Amino acid sequence: MSNIPEINADELQDALDSNKEITIIDVREDEEVKQGVIPTAEHIPLGNIPEAVSSLDQNKEYVMVCRSGKRSMNASEFLKENGFQQVQNLKGGMLAWNGELVF
């Protein structure tokens, strides 16, 4: 079992509504993000996370997102293993997201 905390869609929407400093990283593939992403989300496909990790700020808070929550959990665990302390996974992924999307 993972030790990565999960945030649900409502909690993430509340964080966005209150302008909380949080960085959302969408790890889905290019074709998937064409269907829409959470506003402010940064797109880094899962396969690119290892090379992108050096450009991420370990002092920021991250929420990792994918379609259902599995790939983003893998990405969350990878960040945690590389020294990131403030990492959460979006429980249920984009399937659970009912908020606004940008294309």
**For position 91, what pLDDT does the model report?**
97
For tokens 């993972």, name the residue.
Answer: 2
Range of the domain at 14: 6-96
Provide the domain count of the chain: 1
CATH of the domain at 87: 3.40.250.10
User: pLDDT per residue over 67-80, tens digit each?
Assistant: 999 999 999 999 99
For residues 31 and 29, give the distance between their C-alpha atoms in angstroms, rounded to a whole number: 6
Residue 1: what pLDDT? 56
Q: What is the pLDDT of residue 14?
A: 96
Instruction: Report CA Rg, the chain.
Output: 12
Has residue 15 been placed in a domain?
A: yes
In a domain, 11, yes or no: yes
**pLDDT above 90 coverage of the chain, percent:** 97
Q: How far is CA 89 from CA 2, 24, 46, 70, 75, in A?
A: 11, 10, 13, 9, 9
Name the catalytic one among 33, 63, 66, 75.
Answer: 66
Does 67 qualify as catalytic in the annotation? no
Q: Give per-residue pLDDT as tens, 10-64.
A: 999 999 999 999 999 999 999 999 999 999 999 999 999 999 999 999 999 999 9
Instruction: Note the pTM of the prediction, 2 decimals.
Output: 0.94
